[in-house]
Amino acid sequence: MRHSRIAEAFVEAIFRRAGYSVSRVGRESQIHRLVKLGRDEFLPDFLVPGKVYRDNARALHQLLPVEAKYRRQGNFRPLERTSLERLAARWPDLRVVLVTDNPEAGRSCFQALELSVGQLRARDLHAADLDIQESMVREFEELVRDIFPLVERRLPGAVAMPAEASS
């Protein structure tokens, strides 16, 4: 649980630094208690303003739902993949940002997942269509690589956490 909250804080900070106005709406926020959306009552961690569309003289603002996930190894189990695909069907604009302190060689600690039926592809966050600069992401990567190992050592009875159990 601590890892997930730290990952959320990093993702929120990156979006804020990139100039986004970020609103927390996930399970840990107060708004979750006010809104009932269905059986599972899923709410993303954040809402951020997306593209502005024009309808005649009116501006239509899009809110992008953002979910932050921490995985030590930077990957998801098949069951999680299926769950994310179902979420994408109900939340078509959902952006999932994977945070890992152990990415594949040449990959970022922050990856934006592209969700579609039968596929789950990861792109480095700065390469996603979100106007987030690579230099900013690199600064936060240094923090990720420093902080998560410290958290692992400081947990009572610390034992290395498997990738699945860390969220």
For residue 53, what pLDDT is reported?
Answer: 67
Burial 87-114 (b: 16+ CB within 10 A, else e): bbeebeebbbbbbbbbbeeeebbbbbbe
Coil vs helix vs strand at 74: coil
pLDDT in tens, 12-64: 999 999 999 999 886 555 554 455 555 556 788 999 987 666 667 676 778 89
Q: How confident is the model at residue 165 (pLDDT cuts 50, 70, 90)?
A: very low
Whole-model pTM: value is 0.79
Tokens 């190992």 appear where? 149
Query: Which residue spans within 12-75 are E strands per DSSP?
Result: 23-24, 46-55, 58-70
pLDDT in tens, 10-26: 999 999 999 999 998 86
Domains observed in the chain: 2-155 (3.40.1350)
Judged against a pLDDT cut of 80, whether residue 99 lies above it is answered with yes
Tell me which residue of 108, 97, 136, 115 sits closest to 19, measured CA to CA. Answer: 136
For residue 157, what pLDDT is reported?
Answer: 56
CB 89 within 8 A of CB 117: yes
